[in-house]
Structure 1
Amino acid sequence: MGTALAFPFEMDTVVALSGVRLVATHYGLHNSIAGVGIALGNLSVGALVGATVV
Structure 2
Amino acid sequence: MITMHALNKISARDPNEPNRPSTTLELLFDLVYVIAVAAAASGLHHRLLEHDFF
| Structure 2: stretches of 5+ with no match in the other structure | 1-19
Q: Percent identity?
A: 6
Structure 1: distance between partners of 2:47 and 2:21: 41
Runs of 4+, deviation exceeding 6 Å: none
Structure 2 length-normalised TM: 0.54
Specify which structure has the higher proportion of helix.
1
The yes-or-no answer on 1:46 pairing with 2:46 is yes
Higher RCO structure (Cα 8 Å, ≥6 apart): 1
Q: Deviations over 1:2-25 (max 9, x none)?
A: xxxxxxxxxxxxxxxxx336x110
Aligned pairs, how many? 34
Quote the RMSD (CA, aligned, Å). Answer: 2.3
| Structure 1: stretches of 5+ with no match in the other structure | 1-18
Structure 1 length-normalised TM: 0.54
Bigger radius of gyration among the two: 2
